[in-house]
Amino acid sequence: MENRIVAVVMAAGDDARMKSSLPKVMHKICGHPMIEYVVNAVLGVSNCEPVVVLGEGGEDIKELLGPDIKYAYQPQCLGTGHAVMMAKDYLKNQTGYALVLGGNIPLITSQTLQNLLDYCINGDYDAVVLSALFENPHDYGRIVRDISGDFDRIVEHKDATQEEKLIKEVNSSIYCFSIPELLEGLDRLENNNPQGEYYLTDVLGILKDQGKKIGVYTVYDSDEIMGVNTRIQQAEATKILNRRINYGHLENGVTLIDPDNTYIGPYVRIERDVIIYPGNVLEGRTTIGEGTILYPNSRIVDSVIGKETQIQSSVILESQIGNRTTVGPFAYLRPGSQIGNNVRIGDFVEIKNAKIGDETKISHLTYVGDGDVGRNVNLGCGVVFVNYDGKKKHRTIVEDNAFVGCNTNLVAPVRVERDSFIAAGSTITDDVPQNALAIARARQINKENWVIKYKNETEEN
């Protein structure tokens, strides 16, 4: 019979050291709340819904994680043992194993949790603590072993003797328990300490005193157990995860000119032979196609970029861009933009909720909002899609092969039919028929010697 694997994620901790009104575990690492990484890691191991223990401000966490997670509530932060007590209703009458960890350990991986679980099950342990080796353990609790090298106890840094402070093996605060043994230990747990708190580490001592088998599994990469409790630790964790993500892309055939100055989210997909220059920020579910070049300083969010496309110093949000298209510099593609193949989107062009056909050129200083632009269209410099009448937004349609001259206003709703021309400086309020030339501007009048007359009149006055 398959073991039941339940994960208990403690997310009710005090965020005073973060100096923020936001719950600690909601602070972001590489663009995503740190608890999201922890929950994803346990989902890769557990075979049932994890239990997240919430405290004050927990509604934000619940909204983030959604209904597929079980929730327990810790009304007061009375220690890690107390937090796990709040999840007892989800553990009672269960067999199998419980993984217990904090929601502020964003660098932990599913593989390490699986290794911990396997070590506990295969070794027939009642509980196993995950440890790591640090050259400078700082304030971490130390793992004290007996003369046989087996687990003896955990001593907190502040309570450690000078000899114990020399120990380099530290407690990660990540555990695997046999569920029945965990429940029994929690029932015996007391808060006889100056803080009046219930410590989960005491459960290990309780079980050991009962003759239960306690083990220690040491993780190879000590970065994985890093807890984030301050803004400095948040920055350090972000740097570590950013490098982990970037090196993964390098191994998959992506060129990053400067990995330490390229920021890629954990869910971004990049195909091989993409070249990314420094200063690029790729977020959300963005996908970058093979052979594309991202020149410096673009931000791309939740967008799909085709193959062999070039993007320079632009912002692209929730948009799609085809193959062999160029964008920028300084273009702004807002949500809902769909750009075809072999398109030119030039400098200071803004696109919003618009579809641009293949081979079209929008070279500079143009706004295309709520429009459908066909194939092989030329939109000159300074063209504006006037899409808002003060109450509603309307669409503009420009069909294939149309030529729209510079400084033209297209006042929606309006249709420019295929193969038509619009003279520069026009304000178009009516549809333009196929093959027609539309001119909508006042006739130029030159008044000879007007300036001389004006100057004479001014001097007389």
Count of Cβ atoms closer than 10 Å to residue 139 Cβ: 9
Q: Residue 348 corresponds to which amino acid?
A: F
d(CA 427, CA 400): 20
Please compute, for residue 99, the number of CA atoms within 13 A of its CA located in the half-sphere on the CB side: 36
Task: Estimate the crossing angle of helix 58-65 against helix 34-43, to 10 degrees.
Answer: 50
Count of Cβ atoms closer than 10 Å to residue 31 Cβ: 20
Pinpoint the alpha helices (H) of 189-288.
200-209, 231-251
Sheet with strand 384-386: strands edge to edge? 263-264, 281-283, 299-301, 315-317, 332-333, 350-352, 367-369, 384-386, 409-411, 427-428
Q: Residue 111 in 3-state DSSP?
A: helix
Least Cα distance to 226 among 44, 388, 40, 34 occurs for 34
Count of Cβ atoms closer than 10 Å to residue 354 Cβ: 26
d(CA 140, CA 202): 16
User: Any catalytic annotation for residue 32?
Assistant: no
R_g over Cα of the chain: 31
Stretch (H or E) spanning 386: strand 384-386
Q: Phi-psi region for residue 223, left (φ > 0), alpha (ψ -120 to 50) or beta? A: alpha
Question: Which residue among the candidates 27, 82, 249, 364 is catalytic per the annotation?
Answer: 364
d(CA 92, CA 214): 21
Q: Catalytic residue numbers? A: 364
